[in-house]
Structure 1
Amino acid sequence: MNITIHNLGRRFNQEWIFRKIDYTFSSNQKYAVLGPNGSGKSTLIKTLTGQLTPSEGTIEFSLAGGVMPVEEVFHHVSIAAPYIELIEEFTLNELLDFHFKFKKYLNGFDKDAIISILRMEKSRNKELKYFSSGMKQRVKLVLACCSDTELLFLDEPTSNMDVEGETWYLDLLNTTISQNRTLIIGSNQEKEYEFCDSFVSILDYK
């Protein structure tokens, strides 16, 4: 799936976070949106995923050469980010069952495979409110990466993770990033995005 943005801008009150972005995110490519903390990376990702409305400009999604109605886009998007909340009253089993009522499993995966990837076999019946912050981040990442979607957004993917978790994240991407997905990562840590094909600096659009 392609995302084409034209003259895109977003402001809060009178302050522009970014302006005049003309860019195309192309199918099967890996992108990193770069910039220091507070520069607007997350705001751009929220705008691209429909969580925020642009203050100016347009966003067009196209698949197989045809423009997709905006109300259909959410079927094709998965996202992991620190600001995405989990339902903490659910057990891990319950959360996976709930999530995959709305998204299809990525080809070759099922609930048992995902729990194995998480290395949480002993925690499958534990409520998420008892998970550590690092465990919750792994769950967010696996929900996004193991959903069968053409667009995958990862915002600050290794937040709350230790060195072992960072290695786990890279292994997860190697396992789940196939050639028919568009990956967009918001980050200021090179280890999270060094494998990407293209880089977009949010500071270029201030």
Structure 2
Amino acid sequence: MSILEINKVSKQYRNQRGIRQIDLSLKKGDVYGLLGPNGSGKTTLLKTITGLIRADEGTVALFGQRIDEVGGVALQRVGCMIESADFYDFISAYQHLKLVANFYPSISDKQIFDVLELVGLQGVAKERIKHFSTGMKQKLALAAAILPEPELIILDEPTNGLDIEGIVLFREVVRRLSEEKGMTFILSSHMIHELEQLCNRVGIIYGGALIQEGSVSDLLQDGLTLEHYYIEQLRMAKEA
């Protein structure tokens, strides 16, 4: 089943940065890693997928429906965490997810507490967010993204602020949701080691273009690590 189809998508800003002629396809259950230097276009691409910004040209289709034609209908099946999440500091983690639940039909309190347990926040469900560390806020943002059990989850630098235990927990959450519920993920991260362990496919963006894309098993041959492969691809792109 096609979850996401991106065809010749370009978006250029006044500073000449952005993305150009991106083609990308995701199937159900894919865990896709998006790699690239700062300013290469990763977040622009993710915002284009979610409709937060409009592409200058090209098309984005979710679940077989173009988002410029159906808009929020398709996006109801998508969860996302892009850039830094904003919270009302004076409410609790539970209250925040309760607000999120208002946008979706039939999300119960049990589902809210289940997802808080899944991300390791069950012990602070009633604590005000203003007392949370950066890592705890990151976990809460992840909880909000997965609360409605979306078919596609888009996460931009999801391990920022997490300690080692939090990173291991994040990895377990992604694997569990992918394997048990068939959820599809697209992850943008500088944590190459984590992407190598988690992802079945990766793409490398440089200068706004997707310069390399494929399955991890095909790309990593002759004992290469994803880090070595990534650095070599950037070197060749810079020399071209």
Do both proteins adopt the same fold according to a TM-score greater than 0.5, normalized to the shorter chain? yes
Higher helix share: 2
Aligned position for 2:140: 139
Question: 1:175/1:56 Cα in 2 relative to 1: closer, same or farther (>3 Å)?
Answer: same
Give me the whole-angstrom Cα distance separating, in 1, the residues matched to 2:200 and 2:91: 37
Give me the whole-angstrom Cα distance separating, in 2, the residues matched to 1:28 and 1:105: 24
Q: Which amino acid counterpart does residue 174 of structure 2 have in structure 1?
A: L
Aligned position for 1:113: 114
Instruction: Report the alpha carbon displacement of residue 205 of structure 1 after superposing the two structures with TM.
Output: 0.9
- Rg larger for: 2
User: Within 5 Å, which residues of 2 pair with 1:55-204?
Assistant: 55-63=56-64, 69-103=70-104, 110-177=111-178, 178-194=180-196, 195-203=198-206
Question: 1:71/1:93 Cα in 2 relative to 1: closer, same or farther (>3 Å)?
Answer: closer
Instruction: Provide runs of 4+ in structure 1 moved above 6 Å.
Output: none
CA RMSD of aligned residues (A): 2.5
Instruction: Report the alpha carbon displacement of residue 84 of structure 1 after superposing the two structures with TM.
Output: 2.8
Instruction: Report the alpha carbon displacement of residue 120 of structure 1 after superposing the two structures with TM.
Output: 3.3
Q: Tell me the number of residue pairs that the alignment of Structure 1 and Structure 2 aligns.
A: 203
Per-residue Cα deviation, 1:26-49 (whole angstroms, up to 9, x for no partner): 222121111122211111111111
Equivalent position SS for 2:166: helix
Given candidates 209, 220, 227, the residue that maps to 1:205 is 209
Q: Which amino acid counterpart does residue 185 of structure 1 have in structure 2?
A: L
Give me the whole-angstrom Cα distance separating, in 2, the residues matched to 1:165 and 1:6: 35
Give me the whole-angstrom Cα distance separating, in 2, the residues matched to 1:87 and 1:105: 23
Q: Is the 8 A contact 1:26 1:182 kept in 2?
A: yes
Higher relative contact order (CA closer than 8 Å, sequence separation 6+): 1
Query: Gapped runs of 5+ residues in structure 1?
Result: none
Percentage of pairs with the same residue: 25
